[in-house]
Amino acid sequence: MESIQSIKQRFEIIGNDQKLNRAIEKSIQVAPTDISVLVTGESGVGKESIPKIIHSLSHRKHAKYIAVNCGAIPEGTIDSELFGHEKGAFTGATSTRSGYFEVADGGTIFLDEVGELPLTTQVRLLRVLENGEFLKVGSSQVQKTDVRIVAATNIKMFEAIEKEKFREDLYYRLSTVEINIPPLRERQDDIHLLFRKFASDFGQKYKMPTIRLEDGATDLLLKYRWPGNIRQLRNIAEQVSVLEEKRSISAFTLNAYLPSSASSSNLPAVVGGDKKEGDFSTEREILYKVLFDMKGDLNDLKKLTLELLKNNDTEKVQEENESLIRKIYSNDEKETPEQESNPLALLQLPETHEEPIIHQQVQQEDKYHFAEEIQEEETLSLQVKEIELIKKSLERNRGKRKAAAAELGISERTLYRKIKQYDL
C-alpha cells in the first residue's frame, strides 16, 4: 500500500492538514474494493483528485476512467449520454450510440455534481448500482455493465432529500463510503504553501521571475475566507503573476485582487439565515416609535387644553397650538365626518379610566361646584377659538383658502362651509 506522502507527490496534492490526510487515507483504503464512494466538499476544494486516486490504486486501473460533469449536460440528453440510445429513439438520433456506462465497462466512472441529476436519471442510476443493469434510450433490451462509480457533490444532500430533489435510496447507495474534503479556510497552514506552489508554476509557465509575498500580504492571505477555495487561490496567484511588474507583493497590492464581498470576510457566517415569513421586527420597531411619539403629542395637547381652560389666554398659546395641529395632522388626506364638522374636535381628550386632569385641578382647590361652569366655558371657547384660528390662518395666507385649509388641517370644503357659517 502506497503512503500518503507518495500519493501527494504523485497527484501533486499540496498540504499537511489532518483532515486532508484523513481523506487521502480513506481513498487508499477503499481503492482495492468495488465499494461506491461519495466525495463531498465545497466547490473548488479539489474533489476530482479523490476518484483518480481510487481508480489508480484499484484492480480497474488498466481499464477506462471517465469523468462526467452531470451539471453540464442538458436534462434532455443526459440519459442518452450516460446509457446510450438506439437509432430513431428521438429526433436527431440517426444512429445507435453507446453511453458512458457501456464504454467504461470494467473501469471507473466519476459522476461530478451528482446532485444535479434529474429524478428520472436517478432511477436509472440506482438500477445500475443495485444490479449493474441499464436500458438504452429507446431500447427494451437490458444490458449489463461492470463499472465502479465514484460520485461527488458540493450540495447538502440531506436538504436536497428533504426538498425531494434527490432520492434518499440513491444517496445511501452512493455513499457506502463518504469522503469529505475540508474547505481551504480550515487549512490555514496550507494556504501559503499552495500560493507559493501556484506562483512558482506560473513563473515557469510565463517565463518570468516568481512573485514573493511580503509579511503583510501573507497575513492578509491567511485571514481571507476563500469562498472559492483552491480554485480561487490559483486564479489570484495567476493574476498577480501576470499583471504585477514588481515581484515583491505588498498587502495593499494583494488586497486589490481580493473580492470585497460579504462572503470573503473571515467572520462567522450565519447558516440558514434566510428571513422567514412573519418576521416583522423592523416593522415592530417603527410601530413602537410611532406610538411613543403619539403619547408625547397627547401629553402636549392635554397640557395645552388645561392651560386654555384655566387662563383663557388664547394669544399666549396660539402659536404653539397651531404648530401642534400642523405637526400631527399635516399628512392626513382624509377626515372623519366628526372632524369635518368640528376641526377642533382633534383637541378633545381620549376617554381613559383615570380621573381627568381638569377635575383633579378642581378637587385640589376644593371647588367642585365650578366643574360644570368650566365645561360650559370650554364649549364656548372652542367656537371662539375656531373662528380666531380661521381668521388668523386666512390673514397669514393672504386669503388663499387652499393654503389656509392645509395649515388648519381641514379640507377646503370644510373651510368654505365654516367661512359661510361664521360670515367671515
Domain assignments of the chain as residue spans, ordered by start = 4-182, 188-264, 299-421
Please state, in angstroms and rounded to a whole number, the distance separating the CA atoms of residues 79 and 73: 10
Scan for cell 491567511, then name that residue. Answer: 222
Scan for cell 434510450, then name that residue. Answer: 137
Confidence band (pLDDT; 50, 70, 90) for 299? confident
For the domain made up of 4-182, the CATH class stated in words is: alpha beta
Model pLDDT for residues 310-320, shown as the tens digit of each residue: 666 556 556 66
Quick one: which of 89, 82, 152 has its CA closest to 115? 152
Is pLDDT at 329 greater than 80 in this prediction? Answer: no
Average pLDDT over residues 406-424: 81
Instruction: Say if CB 55 and CB 96 are below 8 A apart.
Output: no
> In the chain, what percentage of residues exceed pLDDT 90?
58
The yes-or-no answer to whether 4-182 and 188-264 have a common fold is no
Please state, in angstroms and rounded to a whole number, the distance separating the CA atoms of residues 134 and 131: 9
| Sign, CA torsion 380/386/388/391 | negative
Residue 291, CB-side half-sphere exposure with 13 Å CA sphere:
6
Please state, in angstroms and rounded to a whole number, the distance separating the CA atoms of residues 204 and 257: 21
Q: Model-level pTM?
A: 0.62
The whole-chain average pLDDT of the chain stands at: 82
Integer-rounded Cα radius of gyration of the chain? 40
Angle between helices 314-329 and 371-396 (to 10 degrees): 70
Confidence band (pLDDT; 50, 70, 90) for 113? very high
Is pLDDT at 348 greater than 90 in this prediction? Answer: no
Catalogue the long-range contacts made by 219-225 (C-beta closer than 8 Å, 24 or more residues apart): 219/251, 220/251, 220/254, 220/255, 220/258, 221/191, 221/192, 221/195, 221/254, 222/188, 222/191, 222/192, 223/266, 224/258, 224/264, 224/266, 225/185, 225/263, 225/264, 225/265, 225/266
Beta bridge partners of 110: 67, 150
Q: Which stretches within 176-280 are classed as H helix?
A: 188-205, 215-223, 229-243, 251-255
CATH of span 188-264: 1.10.8.60
Greater model confidence, 350 or 116? 116
Is pLDDT at 252 greater than 80 in this prediction? Answer: yes
* DSSP letter, residue 276: P
Please state, in angstroms and rounded to a whole number, the distance separating the CA atoms of residues 405 and 189: 74
Model pLDDT for residues 230-242, shown as the tens digit of each residue: 999 999 999 999 9
Greater model confidence, 225 or 376? 225
